[in-house]
Amino acid sequence: MFVDLETTGLYTNRCGILEICITDSNDNTFSTLVDVGQPIPAHITDINGIDRDAIAGKPMFSEIAQQVYDLIKDKTVVGHNIEFDLKFLFHEFISAGIQPQPLKYICTCNAERKKRGRSGNRLDECLLRRGICFEQKHRAHDDVILLKQLFDLQMKERTKLDVEVFDLNKYKQIVLREPELVFPQKPPKRTTHTLRMFDGWGTKTDTATISLFNQLIEEACQDRVFDSDEMRRLSEIGIAKKVAVQQLKTALSDLVKHYYKDNNISWDEYKDLEEIAKLFGLNSSGFFPIIKEVVPELKIVCFTNDLTVNGQNVDRYETLFPWAVCNGFLPSDSVTKQTNLVVNCGPKNSVTGKITKAQAYGIEVTHISDFLKGKQPLFLGNK
């Protein structure tokens, strides 16, 4: 059975299945969109085109869980990076009250890694190097068709395709490596405020007031929203601004420490920290020092000039920023005296206001081509 999923993200504790396709060797196919029951991030819609309108009226996964399980149980499941798909399926099966039995699986991606090394093994890359050109749509049914092509080619090439077993123990091991969900997803269409322009500070500095303030902050952080009622309660608490700011910085620092327990901050974790910082009224000049207190080796990098790929401008926030975070940098669009490096994404020797400012501050300036040397490749696509 060939399987592919589209999901709202990487982690089972905060994301869900948007689409599933299962096809057997005779092209008998089960395929459906799924009402994920949560907001769909904009960057996910940009990748696969699936939005809330597309899944309106579609079944929740709990409604099809038994049908899906019956299709794949006692079968050998084939997929590209299939452990990713299986962890989501096991999560949904368990949520639906199904106790999944061990499943045999073959991972076409693992086969490529063992043959060619760890990089350059996305589904499209595996087919392109075999001379098969196409426009990948990042939809489950389309990807299953491509998956079958790759599997057939690997069989003809006599690529070693290991049959492995995915069971509850393996599922738990994978899920345990996922970052904990500190704050749930923000609900849609709620009015939110930040503390940046808040002018209702008082003069209280006693322990009881600080405790009430921290309790309110914890409530707000649960959904990343300061609603009007919470802002009213904040005014009534009457805490002094200086004390409040210190409590906010401590809360953010604790979250940084939590995320850095594995000696790494992922892009999703960075965005979460950034969102909480904005909620607290902190811009990057107030946010970065808190991170650097916890992880002093991180360097602040500012990107300037348009990044152009194949004649088209590329959104730096969607490409360079995630790459920079995953490579141990704190990305910024502004130059301050805290900045460690400015990267010119345009023509070499071009000058921008940020470059001029960096030179005045004595900050190193480099070109994007030099900056990327010796680091992980900058990919502009996904699975």
Q: 76: which strand partners? A: 104
Q: How far apart are CA 157 and CA 162, in angstroms?
A: 14
Of 191, 236, 240, the C-alpha closest to 216 is: 236
pTM of the model: 0.51
Structural domains for the chain: 2-176 (3.30.420.10), 298-383 (3.40.50.10190)
DSSP 55-112: HTTPPPHHHHHHHHHHHHTTSEEEETTHHHHHHHHHHHHHHTT--PPPEEEEEHHHHH
Phi, psi of 154 (to 5 degrees): -65, -40
Round to whole Å and give the CA distance between 93 and 98.
5
Q: Per residue in 100-153, pLDDT tens?
A: 999 999 999 999 988 887 777 888 888 888 888 776 668 999 999 999 999 999
How does the average pLDDT of the chain come out, rounded?
Answer: 86
Give me the pLDDT at residue 11, please. Answer: 84
Buried b (16+ CB within 10 A) or exposed e, 290-324: bbbebbeebebbbbbbebeeeeeebebeebbbbbb
C-alpha 20, offset from chain centre? 20
pLDDT band at 184 (very low <50, low <70, confident <90, very high): very low
Of 19-33, 63-77, 229-243, 323-337, the least confident: 323-337
Length of the chain: 383
Two tokens, residue 246: 């210190």
pLDDT tens readout for residues 61-84: 999 999 999 999 999 999 999 999
Rounded-to-integer distance, Cα 325 and Cα 316, Å? 12
